[in-house]
Chains A and B, each alone.
Chain A
Amino acid sequence: MRQKLIVIGAGMASGRMIEHLVETNPDAYDITLFNAEPRGNYNRIMLSPVLSGEKTYEEIVTHDDAWYAAHGVTCRLGERVDHIDRAAKTVTAANGDVLPYDKLVFGTGSNPFIIPLPGHDLQGVIAYRDLEDTQRMMSMTSGNKVVVIGGGLLGLEAAAGMAARGADVTVVHIMGHLMERQLDEAAGYLLRKALVDKGITVRCSANSKEILGENGHVRALLLDDGTELPCDLLVMAVGIRPNTKLAADSGLAVGRGIHVDDQMVTSDKDILAVGECVEHNGAIFGLVAPLYDQAKVAAATLLNEAAAFEQKELSTKLKVTGCDLFSAGDFAEGEGREDIVFRDPGRGVYRRLVVEENRIVGAVMYGDTADSNWFFGLIRDKTDIAEMRETVIFGPAYQGGAPLDPLAAVAALPPEAEICGCNGICKGKIVEAIEGGATDLGAVRAVTKASNSCGTCTGLVEQVLAVTLGDDFVLPTAQPICGCTDLTHEDVRRMIKSQALKSMAAVWQECAWKTVDGCHVCRPALNYYLLADWPIEYKDDPQSRFINERKHANIQKDGTFSVVPRMWGGITNARELRAIADAADKYNVPTVKVTGGQRIDLLGVRGEDLPAMWADLNAAGMVSGHAYSKGLRTVKTCVGTDHCRFGTQDSTGLGIKLEKALWGSWTPHKVKMGVSGCPRNCAEATCKDVGIVCVDSGYQIGVGGAAGMDLKEIQPLAQVATEEEVMALTIAFVQLYRENAKYLDRPYKFIAKVGLDWIKERIVDDLSERAALVERFGVSQSVYQIDPWAEHAQTKAETYQPLANLTLEAAE
């Protein structure tokens, strides 16, 4: 008598198991196959090519009716199993039929997770799991708007498929970058870029709040920030949950999935489980490779052969045409781990290997995944890479030979090899120019335009120079920002503007950063450049700021902080002074000092007290003085016409106006100003970054003063008649400095580089350029002119407290 085997679910795992069974011993079992979907086994992972139109459903069917007939499998397709009686060893089908079994196999897969947002049950809200979902998405074409929640594998394949059919697709992802479980930030950036190129809108760090409907049908998705994204269809692809209900109801041991041992046997010796519905050693599964291994083991177990399932390293590839992406293993940083990073911005290639004790434990690659199998092999086999460490990142083609010498590689390039992609300049042309007398970078640029656009091929052009000129060529010693890059501050600023780089990850990739996420030298500079050039698009990154700017207070040598409220133009009043005195008492401030900047410094405040102290000062109408920032510090004034017998103009009033217009703005280095009411200059305006000296006929404006490590007197910029002109010129100057200076150059250094005439041409002579600068400054201020004290006291106060306090724990 043949034994009776009932299989619940005709999925990819159980299908493979049945294949093994009938191949090894076709006579062992009478097989009955139930499937809730009204069809047999198909290749679920190929639904994405069906969606995008690259394949048809017929092409992805794994087992058709003829196959089941040929192998004697009784099919009950479109029928679900509703109940199991383990004592009687029977299953009950949806129509009430009761069937006996000797062995039972669960292959029930998983259920897509639906976030229980308000409106999730509206029509037009679907998941991405089966053919029905796919067909629903295939009906979306041009003229249709779709929102996909979830920037993981599935969500992106859904998005790309519908975009390929002409639909207007927006992906909403809660994390900061796409596919964050498989990819690091840099690869996530490249992926996003490729999707945006396909016309897909990508919104990261976006929180869904509610699904809005009309007549019972979805109309739009509402985000936390109030944005409404209209849509005809909303696809949720946010994860899966093992489908365990039936198993749990029948009393099997179930955790996150159905518990199985190494033989795929559940807590009942006659019941096995395979696929996404199982939990093995605490792990659950969502990719087919391990499921196929499980299928093999389950078949063996059913045939009383010895076999054991073992968890292995997994790899992921995204099935979106034009996005070559691969990730495998574990690429979190950890004890003793090191990264090898390779970026080729020209080709949009990124590779990262995580190495631990001379073995590769993880790999992420984007753009060129041809070698991914080789790398996956190294991970899986735990190959010792000590011998090839220097070159392993370049792939198998570079192994076994001598280490790469970049100069030799350039020397070997044929004349028609392209060096400068932007301008289409090949090596031969550059060599010609060099032989024609262009013997340095500047000259080659002038003659050929090579490296004159985005500048990333500068190194290559220099190497061509070196190869062609031999010993006559001396590499120029431009100072790179830091060890993470070969580019200078100027190069990077140019790239950020010309290539419209709007995120840290974009800069790291396009400028070929050599580290994963920069260092304490480059990150603050990049954060500044990005927020100065893209005030709306870029989001300030507190983690890339020095502690003073992250916590809006100056750190002291004992780890306490100082608090300096603004006193506009040095003017204060009894109420403010009283509030300062109260705060000093309340928070036990050890030192209260009048600063050199005409205001009061409360020194020695505990970090934990900052938000409360700020809230108290806010209540008295005071805001942060930014005494810690690379930004506007103080505007010193003198008493001017209000009281002084020599005063010519309202220097105090003008100083206050300037401070009110400019406070809150971030600048390459700190900016200080002074306004003196007459040439006696009691406000010391002549040694400030911008200094204004009032005279009878108006205002003399000077720039580039300083009295720090270098003592500099201001240089005259212009003399004007009205306060309005002073305001416009000052703002235009600061904005010009913001847009063009190197990070940590005070204005006097910036002026020394570009020349005062260059500045005058732009802001004194060219009125439309002046107006444009003032306007751009206004845009930036619309974002950045907020009191950080109030903001932090209200929304971030928690982060100033310890994460946990274990001092109260009972001692052992």
Chain B
Amino acid sequence: MSDWIDIAPLNDVPRRGARVVKTRAGCVAVFRTADDSVFALDNTCPHKKGPLAEGIVHGAAVTCPLHNWVISLETGRVKAPDEGQVTTYPARVENGRILLDGAFLRARSAA
């Protein structure tokens, strides 16, 4: 069962940008792409914990600000030749508001 939590208006996140949501188990980065798709990922780069929300967003990917690893927003996978995986969370936009799946976030806090 999913229960969607209303986070904020979509426009609070800039296009090709990100903001973080604080949770009990650390920060989740919420990304908005050029065409208004929204993605949520752990805000931690698998390389050396770079804060992904501070990266440059292009297409459906983000470049980590510390050493330029490129991470897919859709799958959380790190683009070759680098390797790694970032946890992703269900996110969607409804009536101009960003919603995250509370069940997933709680599962994460419990883990």
CB nearest to B64 among chain A residues:
A520
Q: In the complex the two chains form, is A544's CB within 8 Å of B56's CB?
A: yes
| Distance in angstroms between the alpha carbons of A433 and B98 in the assembled complex | 61
Could you say which of A524, A799, A802 contacts B27, with CB atoms under 8 Å apart?
A802
User: Which of A3-11, A243-251, A335-343, A409-417 is the interface stretch?
Assistant: A335-343
User: Which of A107-115, A130-138, A146-154, A804-812 is the interface stretch?
Assistant: A804-812
Q: In the complex the two chains form, is B34's CB within 8 Å of A802's CB?
A: no
Q: In the complex the two chains form, is A803's CB within 8 Å of B13's CB?
A: yes
* Distance of B110 from chain A, by nearest CB (Å): 8
| Distance in angstroms between the alpha carbons of A451 and B86 in the assembled complex | 46
Chain A residue numbers with a CB within 8 Å of B36 are 332
| Distance in angstroms between the alpha carbons of A519 and B34 in the assembled complex | 12
| Distance in angstroms between the alpha carbons of A811 and B109 in the assembled complex | 9
Instruction: Answer yes or no: A142 CB below 8 A from chain B CBs.
Output: no
* Distance of B62 from chain A, by nearest CB (Å): 9
Q: In the complex the two chains form, is B106's CB within 8 Å of A811's CB?
A: yes
Chain A residue numbers with a CB within 8 Å of B56 are 519-520, 523-524, 543-546
Chain B residue numbers with a CB within 8 Å of A544 are 16, 56
Number of interface residues of A (CB under 8 A): 40
Chain B residue numbers with a CB within 8 Å of A812 are 106
Instruction: Answer yes or no: A305 CB below 8 A from chain B CBs.
Output: no
| Distance in angstroms between the alpha carbons of A12 and B10 in the assembled complex | 35
Q: In the complex the two chains form, is A332's CB within 8 Å of B35's CB?
A: yes
Instruction: Answer yes or no: A290 CB below 8 A from chain B CBs.
Output: no
Chain B residue numbers with a CB within 8 Å of A546 are 56, 65
Q: In the complex the two chains form, is A806's CB within 8 Å of B58's CB?
A: no
Instruction: Answer yes or no: A515 CB below 8 A from chain B CBs.
Output: yes
User: Which of A117-125, A465-473, A551-559 is the interface stretch?
Assistant: A551-559
Q: In the complex the two chains form, is A337's CB within 8 Å of B22's CB?
A: no
Name the residue among A185, A517, A804 with the largest chain B CB count within 10 angstroms: A804
Chain A residue numbers with a CB within 8 Å of B68 are 520
| Distance in angstroms between the alpha carbons of A550 and B53 in the assembled complex | 12
Instruction: Answer yes or no: B50 CB below 8 A from chain A CBs.
Output: yes
Chain A residue numbers with a CB within 8 Å of B83 are none
- CB-CB contacts of A331-352 with B at 8 A, as 1s and 0s? 1111111010000000000000
| Distance in angstroms between the alpha carbons of A333 and B56 in the assembled complex | 16
Chain B residue numbers with a CB within 8 Å of A558 are 49
Q: In the complex the two chains form, is B23's CB within 8 Å of A520's CB?
A: no
Q: In the complex the two chains form, is A804's CB within 8 Å of B21's CB?
A: yes
Q: In the complex the two chains form, is A518's CB within 8 Å of B54's CB?
A: no
| Distance in angstroms between the alpha carbons of A518 and B34 in the assembled complex | 11
CB nearest to B65 among chain A residues:
A547
Instruction: Answer yes or no: A659 CB below 8 A from chain B CBs.
Output: no
| Distance in angstroms between the alpha carbons of A546 and B70 in the assembled complex | 14
| Distance in angstroms between the alpha carbons of A336 and B39 in the assembled complex | 12
CB nearest to B28 among chain A residues:
A806
Could you say which of A185, A545, A557, A806 contacts B21, with CB atoms under 8 Å apart?
A806
Mark out the residues of chain B between 60 and 111 whose CB falls within 8 Å of any chain A CB in the assembled complex.
60-61, 63, 65-66, 68, 70, 74-75, 98, 105-106, 109
Q: In the complex the two chains form, is A804's CB within 8 Å of B8's CB?
A: yes
Instruction: Answer yes or no: A516 CB below 8 A from chain B CBs.
Output: yes
- CB-CB contacts of A530-547 with B at 8 A, as 1s and 0s? 000000000000111111
| Distance in angstroms between the alpha carbons of A195 and B38 in the assembled complex | 31
| Distance in angstroms between the alpha carbons of A203 and B86 in the assembled complex | 40
Residue ranges of B at the interface with A (Cβ–Cβ < 8 Å): 5, 7-8, 12-17, 19-24, 27, 30, 33-37, 48-51, 54-61, 63, 65-66, 68, 70, 74-75, 98, 105-106, 109
Residue ranges of A at the interface with B (Cβ–Cβ < 8 Å): 176, 184-185, 331-337, 339, 515-520, 523-524, 542-547, 550-551, 555, 557-559, 799, 802-807, 811-812
Q: What are 21 A-B interface contacts by the 8 Å CB criterion?
A: A185-B34, A332-B37, A335-B74, A516-B34, A517-B34, A517-B59, A518-B58, A519-B59, A519-B61, A520-B58, A523-B56, A547-B65, A559-B49, A559-B51, A559-B54, A799-B14, A803-B12, A803-B20, A804-B7, A804-B21, A806-B5
Top 5 A-B pairs, shortest CB-CB distance: A520-B63, A803-B19, A520-B56, A543-B16, A547-B54
